[in-house]
């Protein structure tokens, strides 16, 4: 099996949120499709062990915000790259509540769907939830963010590895003194603690 074939599946990017009692959380997923009509149902796939699916199982409710092209990496980082078990992802974040009391995006999303779970498949790594759409609204006119566009335009480029970046200085490992310059003379002695050049480590740009 050539797993690269999986890269050719096209996706949007979504914020899936839930609430159980006072607890709210949300995560980022790229897997949301309309699974059926009359009544309209969505299917979403979430990593089974994460906090958001735990809240969805408890409450039977989830809400999907469809990210648009104004979404930035800070939004993805906040909701997609930390766990709601250890941080309050919504702290200091301005969000809206739907009729079920579930949080959704006020900005950077062009549509929202409030769903009630009608069935779920536990698939090991992931849980596939199917939910009836109780309410839906268009929130804006910016195009939906595609996963391909997230990869090419939103996700920051990885920094070059340290070895590929220029040396801009040297730091004394003993006292912290910084020598500014790419080349540390071999006979250099730290002017603060008098340790030799071999006790200095490079600082990369």
Nearer to a second copy, 82 or 119 (CB): 119
Among 22, 38, 94, 156, binds a second copy (CB under 8 A): 38
6 contributes a contact to a second copy by CB under 8 A: yes
Minimum distance of a second copy from residue 89's CB (angstroms): 23
Q: Measure the CA–CA gap between 95 and 106, rounded to whole angstroms.
A: 5
Q: Count residues contacting a second copy (CB under 8 A)?
A: 46
Site for a second copy in 62-121 (CB under 8 A): 66, 68, 110-113, 119, 121
36 contributes a contact to a second copy by CB under 8 A: yes
Options 8-16, 85-93, 97-105, 176-184: segment touching a second copy (CB under 8 A): 8-16
Convert residues 117-156 into a mask of x (bound to a second copy by CB under 8 A) and - (unbound): --x-x-xxxx-x-x--xxxxxx-----x-xx---------
Nearer to a second copy, 136 or 174 (CB): 136
Written in H, E and C, the secondary structure of the chain is CCHHHHHHCCCECEEEEEEECCEEEEEEECCEEEEECCCCEEEEEEECCCHHHHHHHHHCEEEEEEEECCCCHHHHHHHHCCCCCCCCCCCCCCEEECCCCCEEECCCEEEEEEEEEEEEEECCCEEEEEEEEEEEEECCCCCECEHHHHHHHHCCCCCCCHHHCCEEEEEECCCCCEEECCCCCCCCECCCCCCEHHHEEEEEC
Binding residues vs a second copy (CB under 8 A): 1-6, 8-12, 31-38, 40-41, 43, 45, 66, 68, 110-113, 119, 121, 123-126, 128, 130, 133-138, 144, 146-147
């Amino acid at each position: 099996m050539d797993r690269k074939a999986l890269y050719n599946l096209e996706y949007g990017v979504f914020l899936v949120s839930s609430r159980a009692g006072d607890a709210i959380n949300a995560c980022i997923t790229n897997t949301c499709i309309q699974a059926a009509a009359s009544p309209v149902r969505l299917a979403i796939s979430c990593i089974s062990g994460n906090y958001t699916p735990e809240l969805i199982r408890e409450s039977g409710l989830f809400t999907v915000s469809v990210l648009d092209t104004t979404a930035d990496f800070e939004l993805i980082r906040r909701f997609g790259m930390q766990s709601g078990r250890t941080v309050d992802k919504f702290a200091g974040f301005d969000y809206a509540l739907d009729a079920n009391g579930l949080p959704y995006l006020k900005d950077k999303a062009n549509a929202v769907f409030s769903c009630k779970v009608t069935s779920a498949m536990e698939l090991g790594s992931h849980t596939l939830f199917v939910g009836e759409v109780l309410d839906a609204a268009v929130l804006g006119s910016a195009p939906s963010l595609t996963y391909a566009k997230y990869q090419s335009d939103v996700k920051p480029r990885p920094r070059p590895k340290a070895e590929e970046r220029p040396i801009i200085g040297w730091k004394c490992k003993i006292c912290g003194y910084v020598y500014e310059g790419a080349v540390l003379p071999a006979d250099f002695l730290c002017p603060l603690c008098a340790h030799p050049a071999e006790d200095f480590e490079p600082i990369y740009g």
